[in-house]
Amino acid sequence: MERFEINGEEFELKLTLNSVKYLNELYEGGAFTLIQKAISGDIDTFISIIHAGLFHTEKGFRRSDIEKAVEDGISDEKIDLDFINRTSYGVVAESFFYKKTVDKLFKSDPEAKKQIEQLMK
């Protein structure tokens, strides 16, 4: 399970029904566009994934709180593209909710899936 530190405290990133609804509503293409953006390392999608992954904490984090934590992490050289890719992929593509769909998307090109998984580890 992926983790994220905010306000000096580390939290597990976990998807809930509210998280999935929030993420699927972000893009016109719904879950398929989300998966594509998560795999590509899109920074705005990463911030939304972290935000959604923290809903279960019931700490009331706002998206702006997450954006500030990401900005600080980049400035402090703790968050880089590798971290963004691994975390986004871990929370979305490897989650119980999205994993079967991701596997189906790559079924016709298992080599591409293998390369992406190597990149995300």
The ranges assigned to domains in the chain are 3-120
pLDDT in tens, 47-77: 999 999 999 999 999 999 999 999 999 999 9
Query: How much is the pLDDT for 1?
Result: 82
> What's the predicted TM-score (pTM) here?
0.91
pLDDT less than 70: residues of the chain:
none
Q: What pLDDT score does 119 carry?
A: 76
Distance CA 49, CA 110 (A): 25
Q: How far apart are CA 119 and CA 3, in angstroms?
A: 18
Tokens read off for 104 = 């189906």
The reported pLDDT for the residue numbered 81 is 95
Query: How many whole angstroms from its chain centre is CA 105?
Result: 18
Closest CA to 79 of 56, 38, 37, 47: 47
The pLDDT value recorded for residue 71 is: 97
| Sign of the CA dihedral with 17 first, then 22, 24, and 25 last | positive
- Buried b / exposed e along 27-43 (16+ C-beta atoms within 10 A): beeebeebbebbbebbe
Nearest to 33 by CA among 13, 49, 16: 49
Looking up tokens 């994993």 gives 99
